[in-house]
């Protein structure tokens, strides 16, 4: 498994080795020896989306926040990580990775970093390992359509958003309301 640090500090893309043969394919979507120790998993979740669904930018504001390990076992998605941590040298910046059922890439998202994705085809499944369980009142969102973020939603996609994501504040509004997480060095988050 190859690891590549993304431009958002602490976020990492993982590309596993694929083992195809005449029966099909075998792949390990997580390997501790390559990726390092995984956080204690408290929840595993999946979403199913049609082409054009955009979910996010979601984050957990409660300290220490939620760590995520995300991959796409079916379909394809443009996965987006956004640095929402006040005080981070990369505050407001983002990076993206195409996750799909051909490369089986995965992304690690540290606490305080927002996550979004755009489903690039019908029946796209995203699989998440999470360090905390879902608590609705702790889950927040910043607008994926915030022009100041300038997220790269493909031009041929008309975003399909949930009501929560349609009503999400811009990054500047969330900052003014004091709703964003604070930056901490990675070792302080565990």
Provide the annotated active-site residues: 58, 128
- What is d(CA 86, CA 82) in angstroms, rounded to the nearest whole number? 12
Q: What are phi and psi of 110, to 5 degrees?
A: -75, 165
For residues 181 and 84, is the Cβ–Cβ distance under 8 A? yes
Say which residue the tokens 């999400």 belong to.
168
Closest CA to 180 of 108, 95, 82, 107: 82
């Amino acid at each position: 498994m190859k690891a590549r640090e993304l431009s958002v500090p602490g976020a990492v893309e993982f590309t596993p080795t694929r083992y195809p043969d005449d029966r099909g394919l075998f792949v390990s979507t997580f390997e501790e020896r390559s990726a390092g120790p995984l956080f204690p998993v408290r929840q595993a979740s999946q979403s199913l989306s049609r082409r054009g669904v955009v979910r996010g930018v979601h984050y957990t504001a409660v300290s220490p926040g939620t760590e995520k390990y995300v991959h796409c076992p079916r379909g394809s998605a443009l996965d987006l990580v956004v640095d929402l941590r006040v005080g981070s040298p990369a505050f407001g910046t983002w990076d993206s990775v195409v996750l799909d059922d051909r490369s089986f890439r995965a992304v690690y998202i540290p606490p305080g970093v927002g996550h979004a994705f755009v489903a690039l085809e019908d029946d796209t499944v995203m699989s998440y390992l999470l360090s905390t369980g879902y608590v609705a009142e702790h889950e927040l969102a910043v607008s994926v359509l915030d022009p100041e973020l300038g997220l790269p939603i493909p031009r041929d996609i008309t975003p399909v958003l949930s009501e929560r994501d349609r009503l999400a504040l811009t990054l500047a509004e969330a900052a003014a309301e004091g709703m964003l997480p604070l930056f901490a060095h990675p070792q302080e988050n565990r």
